[in-house]
Amino acid sequence: MSLIKTVLIFIPVVAAMLVLVPIGIVVFILSILGLRKPASLVMYRIAQGWALMLIKLSRCKVTVTGRQHIPKTGGVCFVSNHGSIFDILLALAYIGRPFGFMAKRELMFIPFLNAWIYLLGGFFVDRKHPRRALKAINGGIKNINDGEAMIIFPEGHRSRGQGLLPFHPGSLKLATKAAAPIVPVAISGSYGVFEKHYRLDSVPVGVSFGAPIPTADIPPADRKQFLTEKVRTLIGEMLKGE
């Protein structure tokens, strides 16, 4: 039964990506014509609807708390733990405003997915080449300074059921360089949806948004370690409370 359900949910995933590519091209053209923000909103709403559809098809019971903490306007950086590929769907479904994210360079070579990441305002980070990585980070900082939102996963990769991993040093640079508030995000249960057994399981999933943490007044000396540990501790406490 789980195998049948897994196959059935992957059919609309692939179909939606193929059908929506022409829409993405139109949105891209609008963005280069100077209509980037409205185009980004259109693209996000499409992606949000797609994510909500897939979550509904998964039949997972999702509990979302703290959405009142999400700033409706202005630059902001969401900082989340990352246990599963399902986390991206949860972010698209429940953040409620357009955002971009920093994706590993390898995703740039996956057809259709790479276009979606780019059109949603994402950047591909090449960790093997610091200059290219810095260019991507600066692009994210510019987005935040322009009043947009970004999301980062400071563990660096999916934890795959290992609990909350250490954050990479300097991983919050995107927020601190833009002097933007950080909204901590705690996602629980997502690893059990697919990656735990490599089949679709309808398990309980939790998404919690914490109160924004200002970064503008934090001394530069405290940004790398003190702030990183503070945010990680808050996300850990939120996970325990779910």
Query: Over the stretch 153-162, which tens digit does the pLDDT of each residue have?
Result: 999 888 988 8
User: CATH second-level architecture of 2-241?
Assistant: 3-Layer(aba) Sandwich (3.40)
pTM: 0.88
What mean pLDDT is predicted for residues 20-38? 70
Nearest to 37, CA basis, from 142, 105, 118, 120 = 120
Percent of the chain's residues with pLDDT above 90: 48
Structure confidence by residue, pLDDT tens digits, 45-66: 888 988 998 899 899 999 999 9
Least confident of 9-13, 58-62, 102-106, 160-164: 9-13
Number of H helices, E strands in the chain: 8, 7
The order of strands in the sheet holding 62-65 is 62-65, 205-209, 182-188, 76-80, 149-152, 100-104, 123-125
What does the block give as tokens for 2?
A: 């789980």
